[in-house]
Amino acid sequence: MLLPAALALGIFTATAEEKTEAAPGASLPRVLVIGDSIAGGYFKVVCGLLEGKADVVKNEGNAEYTGTGIRKIDEWLGDGKWDVIHFNWGLWDMYGWQYAKEDRSPAAYEKRLEELVTRLEKTGARLIWATTTPVCPAAEKTMLVRFKTETLITPPVESQYQEAALRVMKKHHVAINDLHALMLPELEKYSPAPDNVHFTGAGCGKLGRQVAEAILRQVETLQKD
């Protein structure tokens, strides 16, 4: 079953007065955000809220599905040290898009996530898993227009992927940022259309505020150690 809404993190809003600049010469914690176009939508909001508190970078391009993650994770991590990594794969695994012929079953998804989390743990960074944002209630537009395939992800199928991911994160004691629970109650309000998995500007802002808070909590924990 999906995480209850009560586990979703609270909304974070930073005013100019609340932002604290780093001391001259001090290095900011390095944060890597890994994700698809959903992460691309909220990334600027996160950067703005964490300005002066963390150096936030997103993986180059689109993280797509877990298979892409396995192929590119070393490239995205590079040689430097990361303090916090906030990450997600999910929608591309569910919908397929150009990877429809590959095994994207919940079982294959879970196996690839296990490999990815094991790799991320080797960085020594604080890890945060973002639960996959809700699927769209209608047949997804990209699959229908580009691939002539009507793809509708039902709630039971969606739950299989969510549960697979949570099993991996629980096993590895990864912190959870429940973006699914955040957006589901107001999906109609923040979705541009019933056949679109993306979010409006206001929706991206809502996501970005919660992602910023999740990252900031880990950054503050690092500073106390």
- pLDDT digits over 2-45, tens only? 333 333 333 333 322 233 334 444 599 999 999 999 999 999 99
Record the pTM: 0.87
User: For domain 27-224, which architecture applies?
Assistant: 3-Layer(aba) Sandwich (3.40)
Interatomic CA distance for residues 151 and 141, integer angstroms: 9
What pLDDT is recorded for position 14? 34
Domain-wise residue ranges, the chain: 27-224
- pLDDT of res. 44: 98
pLDDT at 25: 41
Q: Quote the pLDDT of residue 7.
A: 33
Enumerate residue ranges in the chain where pLDDT < 50. 1-25
Distance CA 28, CA 201 (A): 28
